[in-house]
Structure formats: structure tokens, C-alpha cells
Structure 1
Amino acid sequence: MDNLGGMSVAAEMTSIEPRIAELIRHSMALRAGDSVADACADVLDDVLDQALTSSEGGKRLRARLALAAFDQATHGRASDEERAGMLDLACAIEVFQTAALVHDDIIDESDLRRGKPSAHRALATATHSNAIGRGLGIMLGDLLATASVGIADNASRRLASSDGIVAAFLNMHKEVEVGQVLDLAVELAPLDDPDTLASASLNVFRWKTASYTTIAPIELALLAAGGDPDESRRAALAIGRPLGLAFQLADDLLDVVGSSRHTGKPVGGDIREGKRTVLLADAIAMASPTERGELVNAFSAPARDEDQVRRIIGLFESTGAVACSRERIASLWEEARAAMDERCGSDAPEDRTFVEACARFVPLA
């Protein structure tokens, strides 16, 4: 059975989902006695409702990793109060994840998220204005990001190293924000140097994705268990950096080999957006001169039609870029696995569960 700290995944998810909704309602509620003008109240209610809608669903990989890392570090001996605090801290990471996705969808002009209208699109429909919908989406992302800090701060008071937890949580925010800047900057990278493009894209993955997807959940869990700050950071980077890179590579790969039914997003979305990815860099590097010119021209154009999307997906396969990406994922997983072996030296249930929680990030390995 797939367990987390002796609890089935179904039971763990049952505790995570309602707790996230409860924490969002509490964190985003106005203080008693505060009020807004009647003329604006409906729009505020729409934004608060969308906060809950945007927070629904997802695999909760980050929260589950944090809980598993905490159980591994405490050998499953944490008190009920400490485990409740860790659950809230894990939920805080998920709330921040939602904030990041809301902003990401605005930047990428995405229509869908988890199979539903993205937040800014839903708010545009509610207000009958694309401009207001985008603005409200920006503010919704800000509200959720702020709420995540409050949730983490409250949770830290029931855990070891309260100050260290808050500092690490804020550092996670900063790293993702830096990562988003780098993600936009890499779109300006020239396509005639695929090795440089691949290196830059992988660096974006470290900052934008690994920082809060795998590194922070482990670091926060180890701090919450009373771990030394420097050692907690070292262990989190050793495991979380390669694991996070593998996760993003797998996500990019699913964009071309997956299906909308499983991803909740249209297949080939990165290609339509013209994103500079490691997959693209590998395809350019391994393509024939004619194919290379075709790829460069397609991604230099302002848009790509559906025939081009299908053609590019075919080139990713035929050039060997898809196979290369699978090899990168497997290599990074082995690196992360070696770091896990260093930390998980026994056959204790908590050790096995932690490794299982990490393995969920790389289904393609």
C-alpha cells in the first residue's frame, strides 16, 4: 500500500484538501468590523470564491513530500500537535503553489488550469472584462501568496525552529520570483546555441520549479523536525535539486507525449507559446540542418498553427530529443536517489515512505 507515515494516501489527501480550503477561508477573511462598499462587494466575493476554486485539485505532491520528509526525520514520533503544525506548513506550500500558478497563467496567457478555466479567465467572465479579469488575477495571486506566509508563520509556532521555518519559507518565495524573472529572460535567448539554451533552461528549472516543489518541502520539514539549518539545507539541495529538475523535464515531456485528459492542459501548449525548453534545445542540437532551420524559424515566428505544432512534436521524437529527455530524467533521478540513500539508511517504514514520496515526481524515470 502507498503510505505516508503509516497513513494511506487517500486518508492523507482527505486531510490535506479540506484543510487547505479552511486555511484559505480564514486567511483571506476580512477582520471583524472591516467592510467594503456594496458596489464592490460582489467582485471581492468573486475573487475569494476563485481562491477556493483555484486551490482545488492537483496531486498535492509538495505537501505529501513535506509530510513524508517530516515523518522520516522524526521517525514517526512527532506529537499530534507537531503533526498538525506540519500539516498546516505543508498546506502553506500548496497555497503558495496556487498563487504561483495564477500568476503563471496570466504571464503565459493560458486558458486552462487543471481542466478548468484559469483564474484570470474565470474572473474575466465574471466581470465581463478581460482587462479587469487579468488585474483581479494578479491581485488573487498576491492575496494567496500573502496568505501562504501567514499560514506558514502560524504553523511554525507549533514546530521546532520557528524563525528558521519562516525565513526558509520567505526564501522560497524569493527564489521562485527570481525563477520567474529568469523564465522570462530565457525567452530572449538565441536559438543558434542549443547547448547554452539547454543550460539556461535547466537553471530556470532549479530556481522556478525545484525551489518550491522539492527543495523547500524537504528543507521546511527537516527544520520543523528540529534539524540543523545548514544540514537541512544541504540535504534538501542534494535530494531536491536533481529531483526538481527531473520533475520539470518530465512535465515538459508530458506536454508533447501526454494527453489533455491527464494533464488538464492542451497537448503542445509549450510549443504554441513558443517556449524555449530543454526539449527544444536538444531537438535543435540533434536535428539535420534542414530540420534545425525549420525549428528555428517556427520558434522565431510570433505564433505556430496546429499543423506546425504536430510537425514540431514529430521532430522532437524523430531527432531523438524525447529520448534524450528521458535519459536526463533517469540520470537526475539516480542522483537524487543516491542522496536519499545517504539519508535513509534503514528499512524503516518512514524511510521507505519518503523515497516513495520522492518517486512520485518522476513517473517517467
Structure 2
Amino acid sequence: MTDVLAAALHRAAAHQRRFETRFAAYFDSLTDPAAGGTLDAPPHGRFPARALALVRELSLRGGKRLRVALLHEAAALVTDRPVPGLDTAALGIELLHTHGLIHDDLIDGSAERRGGPSTHQTYREEFPDRPDTALALTVLAGDLAAFLAVRVLLAGDLPPDRALAMAAVAADAGADAVNGQLLDLERDFPPEPDTAFLHTVTEYKSTRYSILAPLRLGLLAAGADPAPHEAELRTYATALGTANQLHDDWLDLFGDPAALGKPLGTDLRSGRRSYLVRALLAAADPAELRTLHAALGAPDHDQDALAPIRRIARAHGIDRTLHDQAARHAHRAAALAAAWHERWRPEAAAFFTHLPAWSTTRDH
């Protein structure tokens, strides 16, 4: 690891630590009268409070908080002074992420997330004889997180025009993510998706809200207009997001479940045509295809049964190919950010230049 990358990751870790405290305080402020009690919660019933509690629990369970670091470093591109609106923006984007996680786990039937039960799994355990209720409550908990994501931006102490502009970014990112989820479901129907379709899924489902939206929000919070830089910000986000997703697909089969906080083979068992699954189906011979199809779309497929699939992937060089493709996209993102040193503050530009290298070597 280079000294510059180490410094960038150190700053990212510092952003994360500060944010964790701020995130917990935010949830306290919603319901604790001593902290302001800013959310007008219903005076009767236990379901609303339980939904908020589960949103809080999943939100505070951790994660890379990459979006938080991107927000702070985007603002640092244009100023070295404190930017008050960054905390509010970080709350909004992480609440939007919680919304996505809750619905994504529901769609995929995932029982685990971040080393604990998914929201849907928790509701299934609480209502074992009412699966429709568990499903409905999960959808509503995800919706609650999404509305809170926009509410925090509009109800904070930002100047009104800036609050509206930042809320619009969050709302657009949420709509893009929903479209990405729709495409994510469509790609598992015939015909087999091509690479362009998979790139589009990646862009809408994750890149636009996880990378592009934080870039826009960070600049807006710092008082800069991101519009003149939209094309290069979007190109950088697309390259970095694709590298991230390719590496995520690699981790899903070859990663460490303890580090990931969830079982391996999620894409395969859910029948999702990820970059890796698509490559496996295209390369496998008839005997290998029988092995693949036994696991494809089989949520109860045993973890130990993934070993033969890993052997198939390695035999066809798919593990190396995916790694090389991720590295190429990461290199493109780094090259784009290298040009930012001439226009924006070098320290922050260095973060964006070196971040792609980390994105393709991380273990979670």
C-alpha cells in the first residue's frame, strides 16, 4: 500500500468514526423527548416503533461507509474549511442505503446482512405464521428509511435553496436505485443479459446513489455547483462503480464470509445473472452446467457445494478475468481523477485517484 493510499484510507476511517456517533445521535433525536423528539410518531401501536428500531439497528450495524467518505472528500475538493451540511448529507445518503439494503434482502431472500439477521428475516421470526405480514412490514420499514433520507435534508439547518437542491439529488438517487432494482429482476429472465445490460444494472442499482450522489452532495454542501463537472463526475462514478461491482461479484464466490458478514454464493443461489454467474454459464461444458444449474436459484444450496463451482471458475480463468476487468475499470477511474489535481485541492484529488485501487483489493 502506498503512503498516499494509506493516508486516504486513514481519512476515510476518521470520517467513518465521526459519522457512527452522529448517526446514533440522529436516531435518538427522532424519538427521545430529551433530544428533541423531532419525529411525530403515532401515540398508539407497536409496529411503527418496531419498524424504526429495525431501521436504526441495521443502519448502525456498520458497513464500509464509503458514501460518507466520498461526501467529505468531494467537499474537500473545493475547500479545507468545515462544511456544516456534510453531516446532514451523510445521514441522508446512509438512510437511503439502509432503504436499499432492506428491500434488496427482501427481493433476494437473504437471511443475513452485516453479520446479523436481515430485516425481513427478523420479521419472519417474529411472525412465523404470518408471512404476508412479515413481507409487508419489511417493505414498509424500507419505505420509512427512504422517506427519512429526504426528510433529514429538508428538516435540517441547511439554507433552504441548498436543502432543496440536496434533497433533489437524494430523491433522484432513490428513483435511480429503484429502477436499478427493477432491471436487476429483469436480467434474470431470458434472454441471458449481455455486458451492456449488466453495466446498466450496476449504474442504476448502485453507482448513481453510492458514488455519483455523494459526489454531487459533497460539492453542493460546500457551496459548489456540480453541474459544470457533471460529465466527468458521472464517468468517474461509472468506472469506479463497475470496478466495485465486478469485485463484489468475485467476493461473492471467492471471499471470506466472516469478512463479508454474509454467506458466499448469494448471487448463484438467488439465480441472479451477475457478471460472475453470466461468465460461468457462458464458459461451462455440459457436465459443468449441470453442477451450476443445481445451485442456480436454489436458496438452500449448501455452502460446501460451492467448492466445485469455484473449481469450475478457476479452470476457465473466470476468477482472473473478473479481477483483471475490475482492475481496468479502476485504472480508468484513477486516470480520470488524476486530472483533478490541476483544478481542485490536491489532497482530496489524491483520495479519488487512489480509491479505485482499494476498491479492487478490499475483502468486504
TM-score tier by shorter-chain length is 0.7 to 0.9
Contact 2:115/2:262 (CA < 8 Å) preserved in 1? Answer: yes
Classify the secondary structure of the residue corresponding to 2:194. Answer: helix
Q: CA shift at 1:23, angstroms?
A: 2.4
Answering whether residue 88 of structure 2 is matched by residue 88 of structure 1, we say yes
The one-letter code of the counterpart of 1:322 is D
Identity fraction in percent = 26
CA change 1:242–1:327 in 2 (3 A) is same
The one-letter code of the counterpart of 1:69 is A
Q: How many residues align?
A: 351
Q: CA shift at 1:12, angstroms?
A: 2.3
1:22 equivalent in structure 2: 25
Distance in 2, matches of 1:28 and 1:101, equals: 23
1:348 equivalent in structure 2: 346
Distance in 2, matches of 1:286 and 1:127, equals: 43
Contact 1:96/1:145 (CA < 8 Å) preserved in 2? Answer: yes
Answering whether residue 333 of structure 2 is matched by residue 333 of structure 1, we say no
| 1:102-159 deviation line (CA, Å, top 9, x unaligned) | 0111111110000101012113333454332222111110001000001123458249
Distance in 1, matches of 2:66 and 2:259, equals: 16
CA change 1:10–1:209 in 2 (3 A) is closer
1:186 equivalent in structure 2: 187
CA change 1:326–1:245 in 2 (3 A) is same
Structure 1 segment 107-118 matched on structure 2, within 5 A: 107-118=107-118
Answering whether residue 206 of structure 2 is matched by residue 206 of structure 1, we say no
CA change 1:302–1:127 in 2 (3 A) is closer
| 1:253-272 deviation line (CA, Å, top 9, x unaligned) | 10111111010111112111
Contact 1:27/1:150 (CA < 8 Å) preserved in 2? Answer: no
| 1:321-348 deviation line (CA, Å, top 9, x unaligned) | 1111111101101111111012123783
Contact 1:85/1:159 (CA < 8 Å) preserved in 2? Answer: no
1:272 equivalent in structure 2: 269
Worse-matched range after superposition: 207-216 or 27-36: 27-36
Contact 2:207/2:237 (CA < 8 Å) preserved in 1? Answer: yes
Classify the secondary structure of the residue corresponding to 2:187. Answer: helix
Contact 1:219/1:235 (CA < 8 Å) preserved in 2? Answer: no
| 1:245-301 deviation line (CA, Å, top 9, x unaligned) | 11111111101111110101111121111211111222233334553x436744776
Structure 1 segment 279-318 matched on structure 2, within 5 A: 279-288=276-285, 290-291=287-288, 293-294=289-290, 297-298=293-294, 305-306=301-302, 308-318=305-315
Contact 1:218/1:236 (CA < 8 Å) preserved in 2? Answer: yes
2:147 equivalent in structure 1: 146
CA change 1:212–1:35 in 2 (3 A) is closer
1:238 equivalent in structure 2: 235
Answering whether residue 57 of structure 2 is matched by residue 50 of structure 1, we say no
Contact 2:211/2:241 (CA < 8 Å) preserved in 1? Answer: yes
CA change 1:127–1:309 in 2 (3 A) is same
Worse-matched range after superposition: 61-70 or 13-22: 13-22
Contact 2:105/2:111 (CA < 8 Å) preserved in 1? Answer: yes
Contact 2:331/2:357 (CA < 8 Å) preserved in 1? Answer: no
CA change 1:33–1:201 in 2 (3 A) is closer
Q: CA shift at 1:228, angstroms?
A: 3.2
| 1:17-71 deviation line (CA, Å, top 9, x unaligned) | 121222234457876886433xx23x33322221111102111011111111111
Answering whether residue 218 of structure 2 is matched by residue 221 of structure 1, we say yes
CA change 1:299–1:160 in 2 (3 A) is same
Classify the secondary structure of the residue corresponding to 1:73. Answer: coil
2:169 equivalent in structure 1: 168
Contact 2:15/2:68 (CA < 8 Å) preserved in 1? Answer: no
Distance in 1, matches of 2:324 and 2:144, equals: 40
Answering whether residue 13 of structure 2 is matched by residue 36 of structure 1, we say no
2:359 equivalent in structure 1: 361
CA change 1:236–1:295 in 2 (3 A) is farther
Q: Which runs of 5+ in 2 are unaligned?
A: none
CA change 1:197–1:310 in 2 (3 A) is farther
Distance in 2, matches of 1:45 and 1:166, equals: 25
The one-letter code of the counterpart of 2:143 is D
Question: What RMSD in Å do the two structures reach over aligned CA positions?
Answer: 2.9
Worse-matched range after superposition: 200-209 or 155-164: 155-164
Answering whether residue 235 of structure 2 is matched by residue 254 of structure 1, we say no
Classify the secondary structure of the residue corresponding to 2:310. Answer: helix
Distance in 2, matches of 1:238 and 1:16, equals: 28
Contact 2:268/2:296 (CA < 8 Å) preserved in 1? Answer: no
TM-score by length of 1: 0.86
Distance in 2, matches of 1:135 and 1:301, equals: 23
CA change 1:251–1:90 in 2 (3 A) is same
CA change 1:357–1:332 in 2 (3 A) is closer
The one-letter code of the counterpart of 1:54 is L
Q: CA shift at 1:362, angstroms?
A: 2.8
Classify the secondary structure of the residue corresponding to 1:59. Answer: coil
Classify the secondary structure of the residue corresponding to 1:157. Answer: coil
Distance in 1, matches of 2:209 and 2:30, equals: 21
